[in-house]
A and B are shown apart, each in its own frame.
Chain A
Amino acid sequence: MKDTNKNVYQQNKKFFLDTITSNSDFSRLIIFFVMFVTVAILQRNFFRYQSIVRMINGFTPLVLLAMGQAVVMLSGSFDLSIGTALSLLTCVLTSVMKEGVPVTGFYALVIAFVVAMVIGIINGIAVGYLRVPPIIATFATLYIWFGIALFLRPTPGGESVDWFKIFYNVRYLKNLPNIVRQIGLILPPALILLIIGILFWWFISKTKIARYIYAVGGNEESAYESGINTAKVQLQAFMINSVYIFLAALFFVGQNQSGDARMGNPLMLKSIAAAIIGGIALTGGRGNIYYAIVGALIFNFISKIIFFANIPNAYQTLFAGVIIIVTIAASQIYMLYSSKTIKESKIG
């Protein structure tokens, strides 16, 4: 079907030129820039060091989770348990640590990391090897993590060692070498955690793992035909996600010195929305982790703008919910109309 396909191809090519010139990634940056400026205008003292630090501290958890969620989404799955997994890790950290015993901090780090990996493995096995639909598998594990977290910490609390605050603010520590203090005063620890997260992905993006995550998420059948172990790749995606959840947990415990079984719940839907705003396709295989960061920032800025619009506290959760739905719907409509497949004979 030579000429006919050429026609269809021409049609689609024109469409792609349109979308490429309107370059979705570029337009995201523009939106981000606009929001940035808006917030900067609305918030007094925006450029003061304190506000900047507060802002960074505010968006760090969502950015980290958005990155983790984005990796899982790229591989073709979802992680609905990301919120309760985060809660669980904070509970683990604060259960292992004993105040006044600095070494328990290290134990806590190691144990929490292991738990994070186990979380990733359990999800990854269910989705990759046992082939349970990811939405349902992570829905089940969501409650498993929640139950364990409640078991460890029925009410928010727990203990934290002093030096753990390093993950939140260097100021609180008295016995630090001066140079660390100096760095800490300029670079908030949250930013360092973010940089670690970005470097982690930068490293992985250059390896086979990242390439295969895109392949499996893009077209699992083709990836399988090409000899890729798709189950292993999906497992790896979940484990990478766990690293980000771990980093976010460090931040929270550093900030609050306590663990809470429910703190992560609202973050699950937000992490998905942030990833979607950032251009990660719901169907997998398409998107850029760095733009997921932009997505999280945009999401945060939207919330800030609403805050400045003086919407009463009571309505904020409502607006948050509406924004999530609207952004997901909008991104999907956009995706549907710049369809990537040449129209095949389809039924229904």
Chain B
Amino acid sequence: MGKEMKSALAFFYDRNKKRIIVTVLIVSMFIIGEFFVSNFLSLTQLLITLKLASYIAIFALCQMIVIAAGDGGLDLSVGYAATVTAVFTASIMDGQNANLWKAILIAIAIGFIIGLSNGLLTSYLKLPALVITLGMASILQGVIDAYTAGRNITGKPSPVLEILAAKSSGGFPNIVFVLIILALISIFFLNKTKLGYRLFSTGANKTAAHLSGINVKIVKLAAFITSSIIASLMGLLLLGNMGTAFKDMGSNYVFPSIIAVAVGGVSLNGGEGDYFGVILGAIFLQTLSNLLVALGWGDAGKWLGYGLVLYILLITYIGNRRKR
């Protein structure tokens, strides 16, 4: 009996190595935090962490999809797409549920346009996704600046959004439920449908995918569009969480969304995806951020920590290397 157990455990460890390491690190950070701040290791703290991590995790899903399509794809415009949507739909909803559906439609439209632009410029003009989406981010920031200059952003989110984003049921933050449902849907879609298969194949080997009949350009375009639409819809949730829209709502989510993917063990070269691991990565980042704040490192420490974590990960994760 012992031998079978051992080999089963070994098999489990092998397959889930990265996730186990991340979980261990998360638990360690909670314990370390407890030394500095009482009640760091507590249920309330855990729930707060989960709530904040959920936001990162959903943006990380956008990233994971674009990254999976391969060719060094990244989407730096996700946070800005969310902000733009929040700013534009706030007044439409104006605190009522009646126009929620309008807001959703607008969000999808905005996301579609942004994703289409990103996708066309990267796929068809062969420009690096990083530069393009960064440029898009600055254009979106410009749009936000232009729109909000000398104008107060009025409008509040519809109560439904508030409930989903900010409130809890029985102590458990609702956004976590949203995340879980989204996770189940995406894991299912990515692993069990032909869309997911096409996506991962394109990222894994563009040439083989093309020769097998996959339209590589369309797959990449679709990845960007999907990412931007999800990001735009997130804008609605962010609005629901904050109660009002403001200029920098989404920008802080961009970088963490990328690191969450990397921490989750997904190769930045594309061809694979593990949303469960990415969610763990998001939790890791939020915990790290909380810990740095508890240690008194504040803002500086957060960015430094993020940068160092990513740098170390990139160096050690061999799957990301350039081939000689």
* A–B contact via C-beta, under 8 angstroms: yes
- Kindly report which residue of chain B lies nearest to residue A315, judged by CB atoms: B146
Confirm or deny: A321 has a beta carbon within 8 angstroms of a beta carbon on chain B: yes
Evaluate contact between B125 and A136: CB separation under 8 angstroms: no
**Chain A residues near B131 (CB-CB < 8 A):** 78, 269, 272, 282, 328
Evaluate contact between B315 and A132: CB separation under 8 angstroms: yes
Docked pose: A347 CA to B300 CA in angstroms: 47
Q: Which of B127, B302, B314, B322 is within 8 Å of A328, CB to CB?
A: B127
Evaluate contact between A147 and B300: CB separation under 8 angstroms: yes
A132-B322, A146-B307, A318-B139 given as contacts; is B127 within 8 A of A332 (CB)? yes
**Chain B residues near A336 (CB-CB < 8 A):** 125-126
Query: How close is B90's CB to chain A, nearest CB, in angstroms?
Result: 18
Evaluate contact between B138 and A143: CB separation under 8 angstroms: no
Main secondary structure of the interface of B (DSSP, over half): helix
A132-B321, A133-B322 given as contacts; is B310 within 8 A of A143 (CB)? yes
Confirm or deny: B216 has a beta carbon within 8 angstroms of a beta carbon on chain A: yes
Evaluate contact between A269 and B130: CB separation under 8 angstroms: no
Docked pose: A133 CA to B33 CA in angstroms: 34
- Kindly report which residue of chain A lies nearest to residue B306, judged by CB atoms: A143
Evaluate contact between B135 and A147: CB separation under 8 angstroms: no
Docked pose: A124 CA to B148 CA in angstroms: 41
**Chain A residues near B307 (CB-CB < 8 A):** 140-147
Docked pose: A347 CA to B299 CA in angstroms: 48
Query: How close is B228's CB to chain A, nearest CB, in angstroms?
Result: 15
Evaluate contact between A147 and B303: CB separation under 8 angstroms: yes
Docked pose: A108 CA to B246 CA in angstroms: 39
**Chain A residues near B258 (CB-CB < 8 A):** 139
**Chain A residues near B141 (CB-CB < 8 A):** 317, 321
Confirm or deny: B255 has a beta carbon within 8 angstroms of a beta carbon on chain A: yes
Count CB-based A-B contacts (< 8 Å).
150
Confirm or deny: B301 has a beta carbon within 8 angstroms of a beta carbon on chain A: yes
- Give 1 or 0 for each of B282-324: 1 = CB within 8 Å of chain A CB: 0000000000000001111111111110110011000011101
Docked pose: A130 CA to B311 CA in angstroms: 11
Evaluate contact between B132 and A325: CB separation under 8 angstroms: yes
For window 51-102 of chain A, which residues contact chain B by CB distance below 8 Å?
78, 80
Of B148, B206, B320, which is in contact with the most chain A CB atoms at under 10 Å from its CB?
B320
A136-B268, A147-B305, A328-B127 given as contacts; is B143 within 8 A of A318 (CB)? yes
Confirm or deny: B136 has a beta carbon within 8 angstroms of a beta carbon on chain A: yes
A282-B128, A325-B139, A336-B125 given as contacts; is B145 within 8 A of A151 (CB)? no
**Chain B residues near A135 (CB-CB < 8 A):** 72, 128, 130
- Kindly report which residue of chain A lies nearest to residue B125, judged by CB atoms: A332
Query: How close is B101's CB to chain A, nearest CB, in angstroms?
Result: 29
- Kindly report which residue of chain A lies nearest to residue B137, judged by CB atoms: A321
Confirm or deny: A148 has a beta carbon within 8 angstroms of a beta carbon on chain B: yes
Confirm or deny: A233 has a beta carbon within 8 angstroms of a beta carbon on chain B: no
Contact-residue bracket for chain A: 35 or more
A132-B314, A318-B139, A322-B142 given as contacts; is B322 within 8 A of A146 (CB)? no
Confirm or deny: A111 has a beta carbon within 8 angstroms of a beta carbon on chain B: no
A135-B130, A136-B314, A154-B299 given as contacts; is B125 within 8 A of A269 (CB)? no
Evaluate contact between B321 and A148: CB separation under 8 angstroms: no
Confirm or deny: B5 has a beta carbon within 8 angstroms of a beta carbon on chain A: no
A80-B130, A132-B320, A321-B135 given as contacts; is B303 within 8 A of A143 (CB)? yes
**Chain A residues near B321 (CB-CB < 8 A):** 130-132
Confirm or deny: A22 has a beta carbon within 8 angstroms of a beta carbon on chain B: no
Docked pose: A139 CA to B313 CA in angstroms: 13
Evaluate contact between A151 and B130: CB separation under 8 angstroms: no
Evaluate contact between A133 and B302: CB separation under 8 angstroms: no
Query: How close is B256's CB to chain A, nearest CB, in angstroms?
Result: 10
A136-B314, A312-B149, A332-B126 given as contacts; is B206 within 8 A of A317 (CB)? no
For window 133-159 of chain B, which residues contact chain A by CB distance below 8 Å?
134-136, 138-143, 145-150
Q: Which of A154, A318, A322 is within 8 Å of B300, CB to CB?
A: A154
Q: Which of B138, B210, B299, B302 is within 8 Å of A348, CB to CB?
A: B210
- Give 1 or 0 for each of B26-42: 1 = CB within 8 Å of chain A CB: 00000000000000000
Query: How close is A149's CB to chain B, nearest CB, in angstroms?
Result: 8
- Kindly report which residue of chain A lies nearest to residue B120, judged by CB atoms: A329
Docked pose: A102 CA to B147 CA in angstroms: 47
Evaluate contact between A315 and B142: CB separation under 8 angstroms: yes
Docked pose: A322 CA to B139 CA in angstroms: 6
A325-B136, A336-B125, A348-B210 given as contacts; is B306 within 8 A of A314 (CB)? no
**Chain A residues near B303 (CB-CB < 8 A):** 143-144, 146-147, 150
Confirm or deny: B179 has a beta carbon within 8 angstroms of a beta carbon on chain A: no
- Give 1 or 0 for each of B195-211: 1 = CB within 8 Å of chain A CB: 00000000000110011
Query: How close is A57's CB to chain B, nearest CB, in angstroms?
Result: 24
Query: How close is A154's CB to chain B, nearest CB, in angstroms?
Result: 6
Confirm or deny: A320 has a beta carbon within 8 angstroms of a beta carbon on chain B: yes
Docked pose: A140 CA to B130 CA in angstroms: 13
- Kindly report which residue of chain A lies nearest to residue B206, judged by CB atoms: A348
Confirm or deny: B104 has a beta carbon within 8 angstroms of a beta carbon on chain A: no
Docked pose: A332 CA to B310 CA in angstroms: 30
**Chain B residues near A133 (CB-CB < 8 A):** 72, 268, 320, 322
Q: What is A's interface to B at a CB cutoff of 8 Å? A: 78, 80, 126, 130-133, 135-137, 139-151, 154, 224, 261, 269, 272, 282, 312-322, 324-325, 328-329, 332-333, 336, 347-348
Q: What is B's interface to A at a CB cutoff of 8 Å? A: 72, 121, 125-128, 130-132, 134-136, 138-143, 145-150, 206-207, 210-211, 216, 255, 258, 268, 297-308, 310-311, 314-315, 320-322, 324
Given contacts A137-B314, A150-B303, 13 further A-B contacts (CB under 8 A): A78-B130, A126-B315, A130-B315, A140-B307, A144-B304, A147-B308, A151-B297, A282-B128, A314-B150, A316-B142, A317-B138, A320-B138, A325-B136
Q: Could you show 17 A-B contacts with beta carbons less than 8 Å apart?
A: A78-B130, A80-B130, A139-B310, A140-B311, A142-B307, A143-B307, A144-B303, A150-B303, A151-B301, A154-B299, A282-B128, A314-B147, A314-B148, A316-B142, A317-B138, A328-B132, A332-B127
